[in-house]
Amino acid sequence: MKRTVFAYPYVVWMLIFILAPMLMIGYYAFTSEGAFTMENVVGALTNEMYMQVLLRSVWIALKATVICLLLGYPIAYLLSNMKKSTASLLSVLFIVPMWMNFLLRTYAWQVLLSPSGLLNGLLEVLGLPTQQFLYTESAIMLGTVYNFLPFMILPIYTVLSKMDRSLIEASHDLGANSVTTFLKVIFPLSIPGVISGITMVFIPAITTFAISRLLGGGKFMLYGDLIENQFITLGMDAWGSGSALSFILLVLVLISMAIMRKAERDAGEEGGGKLW
Amino acid sequence: MKKKIALLVVLVMALSFCFSGCGNSDKVVINVLNWGDYIDEELLDQFTEETGIEVNYQTMATNEEMLVKLEASDCIYDVCFPSDYIIEKLIAKDLLHEINKDNIPNIANIDERFLDLSFDPGNKYSVPYMWGTVGILYNTTMVNEPVVSWDILWDEKYDQQIFMYDSIRDSIGVALMKEGYSINTRDEAHIAAAEAALIEQKPLVLAYLGDSIKESMINGDAALAIVYSGDAMWCVDPEEGNPDLDYAVPETGSNLWFDNVIIPKSSQHTEEAEAFINFLCDAEVAKANTEYIGYSTPNKAAMALLDESYTENPIYNPPQEILDKCEIFHDLGDFINVYNDAWNNIKGQ
């Protein structure tokens, strides 16, 4: 009884801020002047330009996720092998930037990368030709990886640091070298962390819109930008198509989460089977 | 359990005390929605000091965003500063409060040139605030030729050296003018041509930006940019801006625009809003405001007080022969969707 009382505020919160907006998206996506219609969703799915933007978003999010994994796993691995005190100090350093609003951090990159910015100033001092860093697809990639890398490192680090060290010792005792130990013992055991890292990077990356606008100069429209544009500049008339686009993105996110969940289960069974 | 109830009671009491506290205050607050960098914010404090009316000040980046806010059923704003074609649309949708000119005696300070314009005949719903042209801001150290035509924005010499405005009517308007069409065209073939031109131009464009164009141009980040004349005034200022910059309106003409002050019909504080408009039309206030933001004032009493560096400056006060070649935006009704689709195609490319 007591516990459920404490849950009420959360339930109310969920109803107002999660369920109600989703229902509204569903309503606007599937109605036109009050009557049911598939027009908005079909229109959004058959519009060649919208699909092109969706593909670009998926592609950028996938690339950013892979880069985050390639950078984040070694960092998490190194952290987990350090002394506890050093590791916790370093992991705090990874979290500290997240105390600042991510828009501010993205603006900071704008200043660093701009033609008259710090990076080009440095190139000039070294006598090298200046480069156009800002307003390129690479700048968007940099901003995405920078913003979401901690979400990859932390879950992997958590799994790795909680791993039973005796398993690694056992692997060495049984004659496996470090590479084999890593591939056969450490990596399979860290899969849950990797999967939650991938989920936590891919989903915000595919839905982002501010990064592409600030660092891409409005030249590389992502699906998030497209949705924002429908609501902010096109107004009431575009709520139907804006909601349809949001709905499609929502379905895409749910599908990718289901895939991750399945991968995690499969890995769990497999790893478990081999371990014991 | 008793403790919890006691806590709840205390909380409710504290909250209701807070609300009644707010309710008892006599101070009226007007909600003002404006563009970024578009008023000397010290004037807002001065207004509150003089009248006791508080101002809750918010900003928007484009006309279209303003329109969305004003059309919303929960519009909370009492004063807003949209452009000509948006005012035309708001009047057509019956969303504006008919201004009581008895409350705005300072309207006598406004130059007749800016009154009774086609988007609001007789100024029933709006009072002129600022006006200007759209043109090309360029860096003379990077552009060694005279800037006389929109075509320069399509010149491959300036690859990755061009800023375009992230605004539907302004950027499509530039392409329409380049192609020799009206910026109010309702011909789909003209829009298709403008769309093709902007898609062709996209590889040359460094970025589609809003207000940040000013700072980037002052820093010398690009050679050419589309700006409003008022922003150009700020950018070419030798102290605050960059003396290498100059502004030109193409010889073939451009867009002439007017931003007026309006009061939404939903406003609960129309008298206070009118007091605010009257305050803005005061000669000294208008002078301080125009000097601060750099946009041209339609206030002839303020013009009389202004320094020659403003009144004789062709950016600030363009000669009539240029204005004669310029065109004013008009509301396009539902045809705006054709513009929106074209803009989506350009940006999504």
Q: What confidence score (pLDDT) does residue B220 get?
A: 92
Q: Name the one residue in this structure whose structure tokens are 């084999």.
A: A180
CB contacts of B209 in chain A (<8 Å) are: 217-218
Domains with residue ranges and CATH for chain B: 28-129+260-317 (3.40.190.10), 132-256+327-348 (3.40.190.10)
pLDDT band at A34 (very low <50, low <70, confident <90, very high): confident
Residue B302 to chain A, least CA–CA distance (Å): 34
Distance CA B186, CA B192 (A): 11
Q: Name the one residue in this structure whose structure tokens are 């807002």.
A: B44
Q: Alpha helix (H) ranges present in B37-130?
A: 41-51, 63-71, 84-92
Expressed in angstroms, the distance from the first to the final Cα of chain A is 41
Q: Name the one residue in this structure whose structure tokens are 């759209």.
A: B134
Distance CA B298, CA A68 (A): 55
Q: What confidence score (pLDDT) does residue B22 get?
A: 46
CB contacts of B337 in chain A (<8 Å) are: 237
Domain residue spans of chain A: 1-37, 48-275
> Is the pLDDT confidence value at A272 over 70?
no
* For testing contact with chain B, the best of A116, A219, A222, A239 (most B CBs within 10 A): A219
Using a CB–CB cut-off of 8 Å, the residues of A that contact B are 49-50, 52-53, 114-116, 132, 134-135, 216-219, 221, 225-226, 229, 231-238
Q: What confidence score (pLDDT) does residue B21 get?
A: 43
CB B311 within 8 A of CB B303: yes
**DSSP-assigned letter for residue A130:** P
Do the Cβ atoms of B65 and A237 come within 8 Å? Answer: no
Closest CA to B117 of B108, B126, B105, B130: B126
A184-195 average pLDDT score:
92
A231-251 average pLDDT score:
87
Going from the C-alpha of A248 to that of each of A19, A242, A252, A255, B293, the distances in angstroms are 17, 10, 6, 11, 43
Residue B206 φ then ψ, to 5°: -75, -45
Q: Enter the tokens of residue B297.
A: 């004032």
Q: What confidence score (pLDDT) does residue A91 get?
A: 85
Q: Please, which residues have CB within 8 angstroms of residue A29's CB and are 6 or more apart in sequence?
A: A40, A41, A240, A243, A244, A246, A247
CB contacts of A114 in chain B (<8 Å) are: 216, 219, 221
Q: Name the one residue in this structure whose structure tokens are 């609501």.
A: A231
Do the Cβ atoms of B340 and A238 come within 8 Å? Answer: yes
Which pTM does this prediction carry? 0.86
CB A65 within 8 A of CB A198: yes
Q: Enter the tokens of residue A154.
A: 């932390």
CB B98 within 8 A of CB B290: no
CB B106 within 8 A of CB B289: no
Which is the CATH superfamily of the domain at A48-275? MetI-like (1.10.3720.10)
What is this model's ipTM? 0.84
Residue B247 β-bridge partners = B137
pLDDT digits (tens, 9 = 90+) for A137-167: 999 999 999 999 999 999 999 999 999 989 9
pLDDT band at A234 (very low <50, low <70, confident <90, very high): confident
CB contacts of B349 in chain A (<8 Å) are: 49
- pLDDT per residue rounded down to tens, chain B (349 residues): 445 555 554 455 455 544 444 444 568 999 999 998 899 999 999 999 999 999 999 998 889 889 989 988 889 999 999 999 999 999 999 999 999 999 999 999 999 999 999 999 999 999 999 999 999 999 999 999 999 999 999 999 999 999 999 999 999 999 999 999 999 999 999 999 999 999 999 999 999 998 899 999 999 999 999 999 999 999 999 888 999 999 999 999 999 999 999 999 999 999 999 999 999 999 999 999 999 999 999 999 999 999 999 999 999 999 999 999 999 999 998 899 899 999 999 998 8
Do the Cβ atoms of B347 and A218 come within 8 Å? Answer: yes
Percentage of residues in chain A with pLDDT exceeding 70? 96
Q: Say which of B219, B337, B347 has its CB closest to residue A116.
A: B219
Q: Please, which residues have CB within 8 angstroms of residue B71's CB and are 6 or more apart in sequence?
A: A235, A236, B93, B95
Going from the C-alpha of B209 to that of each of A60, A89, B55, B112, B180, the distances in angstroms are 22, 40, 29, 34, 25
